[in-house]
Structure 1
Amino acid sequence: MVLSKAASESDVSVHSTFASRYVRTSLPRFKMSENSIPKEAAYQIINDELMLDGNPRLNLASFVTTWMEPECDKLIMASVNKNYVDMDEYPVTTELQNRCVNMIAHLFNAPLGESEAAVGVGTVGSSEAIMLAGLAFKRKWQNRRKAEGKPWDKPNIVTGANVQVCWEKFARYFEVELKEVKLREDYFVMDPAKAVEMVDENTICVAAILGSTLNGEFEDVKLLNDLLVEKNKETGWDTPIHVDAASGGFIAPFLNPELEWDFRLPLVKSINVSGHKYGLVYAGIGWVIWRSKEDLPEELIFHINYLGADQPTFTLNFSKGSSQVIAQYYQLIRLGFEGYRNIMENCRENMLVLKDGLEKTGRFNIVSKDDGVPLVAFSLKDNRRHDEFEVSDMLRRFGWIVPAYTMPPDAQHVTVLRVVIREDFSRTLAERLVCDIKKVLHELDTLPAKITAKLAINGEEADKNVTLVTKKSDLETQREITTVWRKFVMEKKKMNGVC
C-alpha cells in the first residue's frame, strides 16, 4: 500500500509527539547526528532545555528590552528573512533606517540645515557603534598628525574606569592606549577635571558616559566640554568628545530636556545609543550619529556594487537582519515623543517605589541617582556577617536575577546590588521584589555568619572554619564562595528536617 505524502507526514507527526521513541534516543551534544529527526521532536528537545534559562522579565541585571507589542513582533517575524546589507533589494528597509538616523539626530540636537541629511548608521549594538566612532576619531587624529609632520603611532583615549567593557575591547583590538580616570568612594563616575588633566597631544577623544552601567549616573558632559575648550585654547589641540549614551540617550531627551550633553556642546562630535535598551527594541540594534560629514573620514566608507547597485557601507560586519531596524522605526512612530516620555516617567516612578521600599528596611545604602538611568544600585550598610553576593544568590530562589558586583579601581572595596527598571517592570513587581528581599534578609539573619560556620555532616557535628573572602572580583573565588555557601545551607536544612 502506497501512502500519500500528506498521510506519510501525518504518521511522522503522530510518532514524534512528546516522549516518543525519537525523544528517548539520546542525541550527540557536540557533533551532528548521523540521521535526521522529525521537526516536532527537534522543537520539543530544544524547547524543553530552554525552560532552564532564566525568565527575561525577571532578569533585573539587563538593560536590554524584553517586551514589545504583538504588532511589532509580527513585523519582526515578517522581515526576519531580509538581509539588511542588500540595500538595492530592500530599498524600503534602507529608507526606514535613514529615517531612524535622522529622527535620532534631531533628538540629539544635531546642527542640521532644513534639507540636510544626518550622518549615522544602524549597528548590531552600541559595541559596534563605539568601535566605528573610535575608528573615526583615530583616523581623524592620524590624518592631522601626518599633515603636521608629527608621530601618529601612539594614540590614546581618556575615559572613566566605569566604562563598559566594549571600550576596553576597542582599545585592545585597534591599538589605542586606554587612559582611565579612577573612581573614588561616593563618586562613581569620571571626574571631568581629572579627565582633562590626562589629555595630551595623542588623545584622539575623551569618552563621557550618559548612564553609567554601575549606578546609572549621567556624567557631566557640559563641564567636560567647557574644561576641554579651555585646554584646547591653551595648547592649540583640538581634542573632541564622544558621548556613550547607550543607556541614557533615549532617557535624557524626555526626562531631562534642559540637560546639555549632546550636539548642543561644540566638542561633542559623535554619540552612540542602544536601540535595544531604552530605545525599546529587542536585542540587536544600536546607532551612532556624527555631528557632521567632516567628522566621519571618507576613507572609512566603502562602496560596493556586487549586490546590485553602488552602496556605501561603514560597518564592522557585513550581513545582518533587518528586523531590529524595522522594529526601531515602529517604536519611533508608534510612541512619538509623548509615548517615550510617558514610558520613561513610569520607569522612574517605579524606580522611586523600589528605592523607597529598600530605604525603609534600614539595611541599605543607595548609591544610584534619581536623575539618571531608572535603576537602583544599593549596598548593605553592614556586610560583616552576610554580603551582597549572598543576597543575590538567595534571590534566585524567587526567580529574581539581581547582579552583585564590586566597583572598579579605586572604589573596588564597595560591593553593589543593582536593579534595572525597564518598561515591563511594573509597580507591582517592584513591591514584590521588596517583599522578597525582606524575606532573604530575615533568613540570612537566622544563619550563622559567613566567616565561621558549624556544619553538620553525616549527622556528626564538626567545627570547620569556612573563610570566605567577600570582596574579590575574581570569578573563580566567587564560584568557590557560592559552592561552599550552598553546601552549608543544604546541610542546615537537613539538620532542620527540611529535606
Structure 2
Amino acid sequence: MPLHKTNVEKGGAKRFQHIDTSSLAFETGFASFALEEFPKYQLRAEPMPSAVAEGIITQELELDGNPALNLASFVTTRFDETTHKLCDRMLPVNWIDFDEYPQTVEIHNRCVNIIANLFHAPLEEGQQAVGTSTVGSSEAIMLAVLAMKWRWRAARKAAGKDYARPNMVMGSEVQVCWEKATAYFDVEPRYVPLHDDVYVMNPEKAIELCDENTIGICGILGTTYTGQFEDIATLDALVTQMNEQKGFDIGIHVDAASGGFIAPFCYPNLRWDFRLKNVRSINVSGHKYGLAPCGIGWLIFRSAAYLPEELVFHVNYLGADQASFTLNFSRGSAQIVASYYLLLRLGRRGYQNLMHTLKELASYFATRITEDGRFRLLSDNESLPLVAFAIPDDQRTKLGFDEFAIAGELRKRGWIVPAYTLAPNLQHQKLLRVVVRVGFTRDRADMLVQDIRAAYDHLVAMAGLLNLFGQGLAVDDTASTKKPESEHTATALGKMLHGNKSLQEHAEELRRTHDLPGARHLIHMQNWGTIHAKEGTKDAEPRRSPVDRHQRHKKRSGAVC
C-alpha cells in the first residue's frame, strides 16, 4: 500500500500520485529512517534518499487543508495540465535577466498591454502601455502609493510648499496591504467609516477628508469583506468638481485585485476604469480571477506621466540596460508565462463564460443558504461571485452560538469557510463568507449548504443541552464523556426543554419543533448514560457506574462482552 502522496513526472506534467512503497529501494530506505528523529530547525548532518525526504515532507503537508475546499481564499487553486507544463519549463528562468530571456520579457509586455486595453487605457495606435507585473496586488499597491506620493511631493516642491505630511483617503474596508503601504511609506491614512447596511465607502464622505496634502483616493472594485463594488464613477465626478473648485490635483487609484477580471466580462458597461478622467492607476491580481498560479499581480498606469522617472531604476550588469520598477528584483517567470497562456487560450469569450458561470453559482448558493431563514445576505449579486451571510439579528440573541462556532464545525468536515467581523464602525457584525472560484459546482454548493445546516443543528442541540444541564439534568464527568465544545449559554432550545417532562417527551417535542438533530443528541446521551435527570425528577433512576454503562452499551449494540 502507498504511504505518501507526491508529485511525479508523467508525460511531461505533474500529477498527484502515491509513492510506490512496493519497491525494495523505498522499503529499505523507509526502514532505515522511520525511527530516526530528524532535526527540524537545524541542518541535518548527513544526506538521505530523495524518496524518503519527499515522503517525510508529504506526510506533513497532508495535515494541511484541502485547497479545493478552501472557500476563504480568492486565489486560484485549480489548473490544467498545460499550465503545469509551462510552469515547470519556466522554473529555471529569472524574469529580471532581460538580456538572457528577451522573449520572456516580450511575453510580459504583451500581458501588460492586454490588461491595459481591457481596462480602456487611452493608448494611441502602436503606443505601449505603462505597467509591470508584481508579486500579487500587495506589491502593486505599494508601488502605486509610491508613485502617487513622489508625484505629489514633486509638485509641492516645485510650488515651494510643505511636503512633510502626505495623506491618502480610503474606505475603512480596505485590505490590510493598504495599511502596510501607508505605514511603510509614511503616508497618513484617512479612513471613511462605514455605517449599518452600507459596507462600502461613501464617495461624498471621501471628498470631505481631502485637502492639499492628499496624494490620492483609493476606490475598491470588490471589497474583501462583502465583495461589493464601490461607486467609482460617482467618486470620479466628485473629484473632478473638487479639483476644479479648489485647485487640487488629486487622482484615483482603483484596487481591482479581485474585480479586475470580473467587471470587464460580467459588467462591461460599468464605468470604473481608465474611461474615468481621474483614474490614474489600477492594480489587479492575476492569481485570483485571472486564474493564474499564485504570486502574480499587475499594476497599470494611465500613462507615463503618472509614473515618476525617479522610481524607475536602470541597471546593466546583466548584459543590457534594464529599467526596473519593482520592490523585488530576482523573480520567477512561471506565473507570467502562465498568465499569457490563459489570456491567449481563453480570450474574451472564454473569460466571459467562466465569470458568468461563477456569478450564477454564487447566486444559486445565496438562494439556497437563505431559503430557510437561518441566514441573511450581506453581499449582493452585482459584484464579485462571493456570498457573505450572517445569522439574522432577531435570531442572534436566541441562539447560544455565533458564526465563528459554525465555521469551527465546518472545519471538522474539511470546509474552510471564514468567520470574521466587518470593518471598524461595524465590528459588531459577524459574518461568514464563501468565495466562488473555478472548481466550485452546483453539487458542491448543495453539499456545503447541507453541512452548514447540519452544523447549525448540531450547535442548536449542544446549546440546548448546556441549558438543560442547569435546568435539572446532570452530566457524568467521566473520561469517556466529552463536554460540549461551545461555551455559549443556551436560550431558545433550553426554554423549550424545561418543565416536568420525561426525556422521551423532550425528544418527541424536539422532533416536532427542531427537526431531528436535537432529539438524536438527547436520546444518544440518555442511552449512553451520560445524561440523566436529577433525583426527584420524572426521569430519575439509580446512577450506574461507567462499567455498568459500558456493559449496557455492548448489549444494545450486539458486541460481545
Normalising by structure 2, report the TM-score. Answer: 0.80
1:479 is matched with none
Match of 1:307 among 318, 340, 343: 318
**Cα pair 2:87 2:338 within 8 Å, conserved:** yes
Aligned: 1:171 with 2:197: no
One-letter identity of the residue aligned with 1:333 = L
Query: Deviation of residue 314 (structure 1)?
Result: 0.4
- Residue deviations 1:209-260, cap 9 Å, x none? 0000000000000000001111111110011000000000000000000000
1:151 is matched with 162
Query: Deviation of residue 450 (structure 1)?
Result: 10
Distance 1:40 1:159, change over 3 A: same
Aligned: 1:94 with 2:78: no
- Residue deviations 1:407-459, cap 9 Å, x none? 11211110010000001111111111111111112212211259968484633
Aligned: 1:287 with 2:298: yes
Aligned: 1:495 with 2:510: no
Distance 1:445 1:122, change over 3 A: same
Match of 2:406 among 380, 387, 391: 391
Query: Deviation of residue 23 (structure 1)?
Result: 2.9
**Cα pair 1:379 1:415 within 8 Å, conserved:** yes
Query: Deviation of residue 468 (structure 1)?
Result: 5.3
1:359 is matched with 370
2:260 is matched with 249
Distance 1:465 1:105, change over 3 A: closer
Distance 1:57 1:465, change over 3 A: closer
2:360 is matched with 349
RMSD: 2.7
State how 1:135-284 maps to structure 2 within 5 Å: 135-284=146-295
**Cα pair 1:211 1:219 within 8 Å, conserved:** yes
Query: Deviation of residue 80 (structure 1)?
Result: 1.2
Match of 1:55 among 52, 55, 66: 66
Aligned: 1:34 with 2:34: no
**Cα pair 1:80 1:321 within 8 Å, conserved:** yes
State how 1:411-450 maps to structure 2 within 5 Å: 411-448=426-463
2:423 is matched with 408
Alpha-carbon separation, structure 1, partners of 2:202 and 2:286? 27
Aligned: 1:20 with 2:55: no
Distance 1:272 1:28, change over 3 A: same
**Cα pair 1:23 1:45 within 8 Å, conserved:** no
Aligned: 1:83 with 2:94: yes
**Cα pair 1:453 1:466 within 8 Å, conserved:** no
Distance 1:253 1:451, change over 3 A: farther
Other structure's SS at 2:284 match: strand
Q: How many residues align?
A: 470
Query: Deviation of residue 16 (structure 1)?
Result: 5.6
Amino-acid identity (%):
48
Alpha-carbon separation, structure 1, partners of 2:141 and 2:293? 19
**Cα pair 2:476 2:530 within 8 Å, conserved:** no
2:477 is matched with 458
Other structure's SS at 1:142 match: helix
One-letter identity of the residue aligned with 1:32 = L
Query: Deviation of residue 265 (structure 1)?
Result: 0.4
Distance 1:450 1:50, change over 3 A: farther
Query: Deviation of residue 15 (structure 1)?
Result: 5.4
Other structure's SS at 2:396 match: coil
Other structure's SS at 1:219 match: coil
2:10 is matched with none
Which shows bigger deviation, 52-61 or 350-359? 350-359
Distance 1:452 1:139, change over 3 A: farther
- Residue deviations 1:365-388, cap 9 Å, x none? 100010111000000112332210
One-letter identity of the residue aligned with 2:424 = P
Alpha-carbon separation, structure 1, partners of 2:313 and 2:484? 65
**Cα pair 1:163 1:209 within 8 Å, conserved:** yes
Query: Deviation of residue 360 (structure 1)?
Result: 1.0
Alpha-carbon separation, structure 2, partners of 1:222 and 1:464? 51
Alpha-carbon separation, structure 2, partners of 1:184 and 1:451? 36
Other structure's SS at 1:448 match: helix
1:71 is matched with 82
1:375 is matched with 386
Alpha-carbon separation, structure 2, partners of 1:183 and 1:281? 33
Query: Deviation of residue 146 (structure 1)?
Result: 0.3
One-letter identity of the residue aligned with 1:420 = V
Which shows bigger deviation, 445-454 or 301-310? 445-454
1:487 is matched with none
Alpha-carbon separation, structure 2, partners of 1:51 and 1:465? 25
Distance 1:19 1:158, change over 3 A: same
Other structure's SS at 1:438 match: helix
- Residue deviations 1:31-78, cap 9 Å, x none? 111111111110000011100000001000000000111111110111
Query: Deviation of residue 495 (structure 1)?
Result: 3.3
**Cα pair 1:211 1:217 within 8 Å, conserved:** yes
2:351 is matched with 340
Unaligned runs of 5+ in 1: 1-11, 470-490
**Cα pair 1:452 1:467 within 8 Å, conserved:** no
Alpha-carbon separation, structure 2, partners of 1:26 and 1:213? 43
**Cα pair 2:421 2:430 within 8 Å, conserved:** yes
Alpha-carbon separation, structure 2, partners of 1:13 and 1:90? 43
Distance 1:340 1:464, change over 3 A: closer
Unaligned runs of 5+ in 2: 1-22, 490-523, 532-549, 554-561
One-letter identity of the residue aligned with 1:188 = Y
Deviating 4+ runs (over 3 angstroms): 15-19, 449-457, 463-469, 491-498
Other structure's SS at 1:330 match: helix
One-letter identity of the residue aligned with 2:396 = N
Other structure's SS at 1:249 match: helix
One-letter identity of the residue aligned with 1:100 = C
Alpha-carbon separation, structure 1, partners of 2:384 and 2:146? 27
One-letter identity of the residue aligned with 1:88 = D
**Cα pair 2:463 2:486 within 8 Å, conserved:** no
Aligned: 1:113 with 2:113: no
Alpha-carbon separation, structure 1, partners of 2:147 and 2:458? 53
**Cα pair 1:13 1:38 within 8 Å, conserved:** no
Alpha-carbon separation, structure 1, partners of 2:443 and 2:363? 13
Alpha-carbon separation, structure 1, partners of 2:529 and 2:300? 59
Normalising by structure 1, report the TM-score. Answer: 0.90
Alpha-carbon separation, structure 1, partners of 2:201 and 2:29? 55
